[in-house]
Amino acid sequence: MSTSETSSLLEAVNKLRSSIGKVPARTRPLSYLERILNFLLGILETSAFQTQPTPLQRILSLQLEKLRPYNQGSRSSLQQAVFLGPWLDVERGLSVLLRQSSQTIRTILAKNRLHNRQIERNRNNSGVPSLVYDYCQRFEIAQKDDYLKLVQCDQRSRILITFHFGDFIYGPNSLLRLDRPSRQKFVLSKNRISDACFQNLCNGFGRAAPDRSSELLYAETSSSDLSKLLRRDNATLLLFCDMPAEFNETVVVNFLGREARFSIGPALLAITNNVPLLPIINFFDGKANCLRLGSQLEPAMHCSESLRAAAQRMTRNAVSLFEEYFQLYPEQWRFTGLLSNYFSDPG
**174 DSSP 8-state letter:** H
The pLDDT of residue 38 is 75
Q: What angle do CA 263, 88, 11 make, to 5 degrees?
A: 115
Residue 151: what pLDDT?
Answer: 92
The pTM is what?
0.87
* Predicted confidence pLDDT, tens digits, the chain (347 residues): 555 655 655 666 565 555 555 445 444 455 666 777 777 777 777 666 765 667 777 888 888 888 887 877 767 677 777 777 788 888 999 999 999 999 999 999 999 999 998 999 899 999 999 999 999 999 999 999 999 999 999 989 999 999 999 999 999 999 999 998 889 999 999 889 999 999 999 999 999 998 889 999 988 999 999 999 999 888 999 999 998 877 789 999 999 999 999 999 999 999 999 999 999 999 999 899 999 999 999 998 888 899 999 999 999 999 999 999 999 999 999 999 999 989 965 44
pLDDT in tens, 191-204: 899 999 999 999 99
User: Which secondary structure element, helix H or strand E, spans residue 340, and what is its range?
Assistant: none
Q: What is the largest CA-CA distance in the chain?
A: 69
Note whether 245 and 345 are within 8 A (CB): no
SS3 of 273, please?
A: coil
DSSP 114-155: HHHHHHHHHHHSPPPHHHHHHHHHT-EETTHHHHHHHHHH--
Question: What was the pLDDT predicted at 10?
Answer: 60
* Res 112: pLDDT: 94
Tell me how far the alpha carbon of residue 7 is from its chain's centroid.
32
- CA–CA gap between residue 77 and residue 84 (Å, rounded): 10
What's the pLDDT score for residue 57?
78
Taking the CA atoms of the chain, what radius of gyration do you get in angstroms?
Answer: 21
Cα 8 to Cα 3, 38, 56, 140, 221, distances in angstroms: 9, 17, 12, 36, 53
